[in-house]
Homo-oligomer: A and B are copies of this chain.
Amino acid sequence: MNAQLEISNTEANATKTPLSCIFCVGFDLGICSGLSGDTTPGPQSLKVRQSAQMATARRIIWRSQDLQEIVPVICSGWAAAIVMLSNGSRQIVSFLLPGDVISTTLLFEARPYCLIEAITDVRYRAFSRADLKSMLYREPEMLDKFSKAWVDEKARADQLIVDLGRRTANERIARLILGLFDRLEKRGMVRSQPLEFEFPLRQHHIADATGLTPVHVSKVLTELRRSQVINISERSLTILDLPALRRIGHTR
C-alpha cells in the first residue's frame, strides 16, 4: 500500500467535530489547519505535503515491514501499534489517540516493526516524511515541539515496561485505564460527574496491551465492576471511584 500524497489543505469534507485539534501534534507544529473549520493555515502549512486518510474499524492501517514515506497523525478515533509473534500472540505497544503521531521514530526510520490497526473508524493525516524532515532542518524550533512528543512516547514505553515486568494483573489493568483517562482528559475528551469517556477497547485489546489473556481480563473487569470501581457499557467507561482505582493501580 503506497500512499499517494496529495496536497489537500483545504478541508473539503470538514464535518463539525467535537474534538478540538488544539492538542494535536500537527496543529502544534503548524503544519495542519485542523478539522475545526479554521481557515487560517499556519505559515508552514503549505510546506509539508499531506493527505487525509480513512480506515474503518478493525482494519490494518499499515503492516510492518512496509517501507513508508509518510508519518501519520491520528485525527479522530483510536488505533493500536501491535507487534505480532510467530506463535500467533500479539502485544500492543501503544494505543494511539486523536492528536497522536503514530511514532516519532518514523521521522527517521522508514521501516516500522509493528503494524497499526484501527480500533474504531479512524481519520488520519499522512504527512510526507521527507517534507517534515527538511522542515525540521530548516526551522530548529520545530524540534522543540517534536521532542515533546518524543519524550512523551518514551515515557509511556518505559512505563509499560515497568508495568509488564513488575506488576500484577489488577495493577496493570487499573493503570491502563488510568493512563488512558489521563491522556483523554488532557484532550478534553472526558466528561465529569461522573467521570466518563468513550472506551472502544474490546477485552482482547486490554489483554494484548497488558500481557494477559482475554479470559483473565474478563475476570478482573467483572471484579472491578462488582466492587463499584468502574463501569463499562456501550463502549463507554465510567470511573465510579477514582481513589479506589488509583489505590489498585498504585498511583497517586
Contact = CB atoms under 8 A, between A and B. Distances in A.
Contact of A150 (B105, B114, B138, B161): B105
A158 interface: yes
11 contacts: A83-B162, A85-B250, A107-B147, A108-B148, A108-B150, A113-B155, A136-B143, A150-B150, A154-B154, A157-B158, A165-B210
A140 interface: yes
A160 interface: yes
A93 B138 CA distance: 34
Interface of A: 83, 85-87, 89-91, 93, 103-105, 107-109, 113-114, 136-138, 140, 143-144, 147-148, 150-151, 153-155, 157-158, 160-162, 164-166, 210-211, 250
Nearest to A134: B140
B108 A151 contact: yes
Contacts of A83: 158, 161-162
Contacts of A160: 161
